[in-house]
Amino acid sequence: MTPAARVPSAPEAGSIPRLAGALCPVLTPFGEAFAPDPSRLVAHCRWLLGQGLGGLALFGTTSEANSLSVEEREELLGAVLAAGIAPRALFVGTGSCALPDAVRLTQLAVRQGCAGVLMLPPFYYKGVSDDGLYRGFAEVIERVGDPRLRVYLYHIPAVAQVGFGPALIERLLRAYPGVVVGIKDSSGDWDHTHRLHQRFGTAGLQVFVGTERLLLANMRSGGAGCITAMANVNPAPIARLARQWQDPRAEDLQAELNVVRGAVERYPVIAALKTVLAHHAGDPAWLSLRPPLTELPAADAGALLADLGRRGFAMRGLQGPRDPDPPARSP
């Protein structure tokens, strides 16, 4: 079957709501023997959605997704959905170096009605051609073969060291309009993001930035919002700027976000975020990271928390440790 035969028509594409605004790539809690903790994950997702975020991204970099097996991702997604969290509020990270794994996870996300999938390129082999990357994405899209599929490209060259050039993006948009619909630009380079707007804005490509430092600039340029790790601990202020970016105080709101981020990003970010969350939730279980990542040294953790405390930082509405049994579905 040719690619065009599977492309949804314009009405089909428009019938699926697209997420926008401030989204959170959700931290993954681990318990004994570094096993994922579905109960704490569900509780955190509920709290995040209650802070005004536009949605959640499961199984991204901040989630330690590439330290999770396919089966673990399936189990965690199942727990989140069984708890009554709407699939339309979720992006699911499905990119993988192994094509069958990417297909399997993408099929699951589509079957469950999730808003979209956030896909890394196959990143182990470096120096690969655009033809090879295109073929990888085309195979996933064709094998899934579902008009409900919405693919968001995940561009994070500092980590993956394999990214999406403009020619590759253009080729994917041309072959799969209405399927390839957006990109998370985690380059941290505003010039790069701005070029995406200039080249693909008229094609309807949703552009999310990977840091709230660039949120205001992205919104002013017609971007969709941000998918930022800092939303795990500072969600309400980030969501506020995403909603109020046209407000006269938007520059001040952006500056306030930058101060908090600046305190956290002095340290390894995932470990720092788990330190902050564990402290404010009163739940040391959140400190655990799966190897090869490690917790912050005690001195660094103390310095980070003291710095945030001096700035009046707070995480309101958090609850303490959760019952280890899986939560029941919400009515």
Q: How far apart are CA 172 and CA 118, in angstroms?
A: 15
CB atoms within 10 A of CB 129: 9
Q: How confident is the model at residue 7 (pLDDT cuts 50, 70, 90)?
A: very low
Other beta carbons within 10 angstroms of residue 175's beta carbon come to 18
The position carrying tokens 């994405």 is 137
Per-residue pLDDT reduced to its tens digit, 227-274: 999 999 999 999 999 999 999 999 999 999 999 999 999 999 999 999
pTM: 0.90
Say if 324 falls within a structural domain.
Answer: no
Query: 3-state secondary structure string, 281-295?
Result: HCCHHHHCCCCCCCC
Residue 5 has pLDDT above 50, yes or no: no
pLDDT tens column, 175-196: 999 999 999 999 999 999 999 9
- Rounded Cα distance, 50 and 96, in Å: 31
The predicted pLDDT at position 327 comes to 38
Give a yes or no: residue 175 inside a domain: yes
CA dist., res. 65 & res. 88, Å (int): 20
Cβ within 8 Å of residue 224, ≥6 positions away: 18, 19, 20, 21, 182, 206, 207, 208, 218
Mean pLDDT of 169-174: 97
Residue whose structure tokens are 């109020």 = 244
Instruction: List pLDDT tens digits, range 276-328.
Output: 999 999 999 999 999 999 999 999 999 999 999 999 999 988 866 544 443 33
Domain membership flag for residue 218 = yes
- Residue-wise pLDDT tens digits, 149-161: 999 999 999 999 9
The domain total for the chain is: 1
Tens digit of pLDDT for each residue in 78-112?
999 999 999 999 999 999 999 999 999 999 999 99
Which pLDDT value is given to residue 321? 56
Cis-peptide, bond into residue 3, ω within 30° of zero: no
In this prediction, residues 198-209 reach a mean pLDDT of: 93
Q: Is residue 303 part of a domain?
A: no
Q: Residue 263 domain-assigned?
A: no
The predicted model gives 3-23 an average pLDDT of: 60
Please indicate, yes or no, if residue 25 is contained in any of the structural domains.
yes
Which residues, other chains included, contact 96 with Cβ-Cβ below 8 Å and sequence gap of 6+? 70, 102, 105, 120, 122
> What pLDDT band is residue 9 in, cutting at 50, 70 and 90?
very low
Tokens 């470990």 correspond to what residue? 271
- Over residues 23-81, the pLDDT tens digits come to 999 999 999 999 999 999 999 999 999 999 999 999 999 999 999 999 999 999 999 99
Q: Given pLDDT bands bounded at 50, 70 and 90, which one contains residue 6?
A: very low
In a domain, 85, yes or no: yes
Residue 317, domain member (yes or no): no
CATH number at residue 160: 3.20.20.70
Task: Average the pLDDT over 8-19 and give the result.
Answer: 56
Predicted local confidence at residue 15, as pLDDT: 61
Which run of H or E residues covers position 160?
helix 157-160
The sign of the torsion formed by the CA atoms of 278, 284, 287, 289 equals negative
Q: CA 110: distance to chain centroid?
A: 17
Residue 111: which domain range? Answer: 19-248
Note the pLDDT of residue 134.
Answer: 98
Confirm if 53 and 24 have CB atoms less than 8 A apart: yes
Show the CA angle centred on residue 115, arms to residues 114 and 118, nearest 5°: 95
